[in-house]
């Protein structure tokens, strides 16, 4: 198991793999169209999913992904291995699949720590950070915020304070091209741990990973025009780290569509206040006795943060609905103040008759 332990293998997956004595344990370290790169105790090779697994799988999220531990069958190291099953995931980072309606796609699996990267230039957005945090906490991994290109930020301490107020429990790391950043990540890269870097294109994920791995494994580009980073990574890939454990690089994502999220941790300040509202169905807009509006008036919570919370909560409530059902929910929210959509229709009908 020595080689696999370099890729983050722990006793949990060794024990589960013993349930399949006729198969071989492997970890998915890269994913291509219809093909996977895996690593076993004998080294790296390519694999595809078996016909049985393909037939039984009806959701994208249940297909193998980078970070998954899988059981394979194979005649020899030179042959294409067949992935027969996926071992139980300890964590899974999901996003809405591009071009596939209502489907979740696995960004990375079995991650212990997820580094949420955001550069301190035009990429900086508290709303996006709150979205990433809500999804990361729900994944089962521990999020760590990485603010890259801090040398481009004229008011760094003010930004750090702002991020601390919005991040709740998450730790924060700042990096710069003029600093040696490796020591800041060492405590997260010990044996048996898997970390993943997630963020928009051009925020410097590949540069950081190259520094951590000690070699230029990933291609990097300078910041392009209009202060925007150029997209570099095109696929997901897992690398063993000299400090122990493994590191997953992911493609840059302009948006991270919600599949599931945890607002309790990412918006703990709001979640604690909501039970104090006078009305249980309070919309936190203009109701009397609203604890959230009271906090906004006192300056302890910003209107921006409330708007972000409501937006994410609304998006999460659309999960699993078709387009017609989503539109109905939106209309119900829109007309809530007049007693719902039915009353709004009745009001419009009565007004038409009077005219």
For residue 339, being part of any structural domain is answered with yes
Say yes or no: 196 and 99 in one domain: yes
Say yes or no: 243 and 158 in one domain: yes
For residue 162, being part of any structural domain is answered with yes
For residue 258, being part of any structural domain is answered with no
Say yes or no: 240 and 150 in one domain: yes
Say yes or no: 113 and 211 in one domain: yes
Say yes or no: 211 and 109 in one domain: yes
CATH number for the domain spanning 329: value is 1.10.40.50
Domain boundary among 88, 105, 130: 88
For residue 256, being part of any structural domain is answered with no
Say yes or no: 169 and 111 in one domain: yes
The per-residue pLDDT for range 126-153, each reduced to its tens digit, is: 988 998 898 888 889 999 999 999 988 8
DSSP, collapsed to helix, strand or coil, labels residue 61 as helix
**Range of weakest confidence among 6-10, 58-62, 245-249, 333-337:** 333-337
Query: Above 50 in pLDDT, residue 38?
Result: yes
- By the 10 Å C-beta count (0-12 exposed, 13-18 middle, 19+ buried), 280 is classed as exposed
Say yes or no: 349 and 226 in one domain: no
Say yes or no: 97 and 245 in one domain: yes
For residue 346, being part of any structural domain is answered with yes
The per-residue pLDDT for range 202-254, each reduced to its tens digit, is: 888 888 888 888 765 555 544 444 444 443 444 689 999 888 889 998 876 55
Helical spans, DSSP H, in 103-155: 126-139
For residue 272, being part of any structural domain is answered with yes
For residue 334, being part of any structural domain is answered with yes
- Structural domain including 10 reads 2-88
Helical spans, DSSP H, in the chain: 2-6, 11-17, 51-56, 126-139, 156-167, 205-213, 263-266, 268-273, 291-298, 303-317, 323-334, 341-354
Question: Concatenated DSSP letters for 226-272?
Answer: GG-BPP---S-EEEE-TTSSEEEE----S----S---HHHHTHHHHH
Say yes or no: 38 and 138 in one domain: no
Provide the number of structural domains found in the chain. Answer: 3
Say yes or no: 98 and 196 in one domain: yes
For residue 257, being part of any structural domain is answered with no
- φ, ψ at 272 (rounded to 5°): -75, -30
**Residue 174 tokens, joined:** 């700042």
CATH number for the domain spanning 74: value is 2.40.50.140
Contact 232, 202 (CB under 8 A): yes
**Residue 23 tokens, joined:** 């198969």
Higher-confidence position of 204 and 10: 10
Say yes or no: 24 and 158 in one domain: no
Query: Above 90 in pLDDT, residue 311?
Result: no
Say yes or no: 164 and 146 in one domain: yes
| Dihedral sign computed on CA atoms, order 278, 282, 285, 287 | negative
């Amino acid at each position: 198991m020595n080689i696999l332990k370099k890729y983050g293998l722990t006793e949990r997956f060794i024990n589960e793999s013993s349930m399949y004595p006729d198969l071989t344990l492997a970890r998915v370290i890269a994913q291509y169209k219809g093909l996977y790169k895996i690593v076993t105790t004998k080294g790296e090779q390519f694999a595809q999913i078996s016909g049985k697994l393909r037939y039984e799988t009806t959701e994208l999220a249940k297909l193998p992904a980078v970070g998954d531990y899988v059981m394979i069958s194979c005649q020899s190291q030179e042959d294409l291995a067949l992935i027969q099953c996926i071992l139980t995931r300890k964590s899974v980072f999901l996003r809405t699949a591009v071009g596939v309606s209502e489907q979740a796609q696995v960004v990375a699996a079995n991650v212990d720590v997820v580094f949420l990267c955001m550069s301190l230039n035009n990429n900086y957005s508290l709303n996006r950070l709150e979205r990433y945090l809500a999804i990361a906490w729900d994944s089962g991994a521990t999020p760590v915020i990485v603010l890259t290109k801090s040398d481009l930020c004229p008011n760094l301490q003010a930004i750090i304070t702002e991020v601390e107020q919005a991040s709740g429990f998450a730790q924060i790391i700042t990096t710069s091209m003029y600093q040696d950043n490796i020591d800041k990540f060492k405590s997260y890269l010990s044996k048996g741990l898997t970390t993943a870097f997630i963020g928009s294109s051009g925020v410097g994920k590949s540069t950081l990973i190259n520094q951590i791995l000690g070699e230029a494994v990933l291609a990097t580009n300078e910041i392009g025009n209009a202060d925007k980073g150029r997209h570099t990574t095109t696929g997901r890939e897992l690398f063993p780290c000299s400090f122990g454990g493994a590191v997953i690089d992911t493609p840059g994502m302009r948006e991270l569509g919600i599949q599931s999220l945890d607002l309790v941790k990412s918006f703990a300040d709001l979640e604690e206040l909501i039970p104090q509202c006078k009305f249980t169905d309070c919309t936190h807009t203009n109701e009397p006795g609203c604890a959230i509006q009271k906090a906004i008036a006192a300056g302890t919570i910003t209107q921006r943060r409330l708007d972000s919370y409501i937006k994410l909560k609304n998006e999460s409530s659309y999960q699993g609905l078709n387009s017609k059902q989503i539109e109905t929910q939106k209309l119900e929210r829109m007309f809530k103040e007049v007693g719902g959509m039915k009353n709004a229709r009745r009001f419009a009908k009565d007004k038409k008759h009077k005219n």
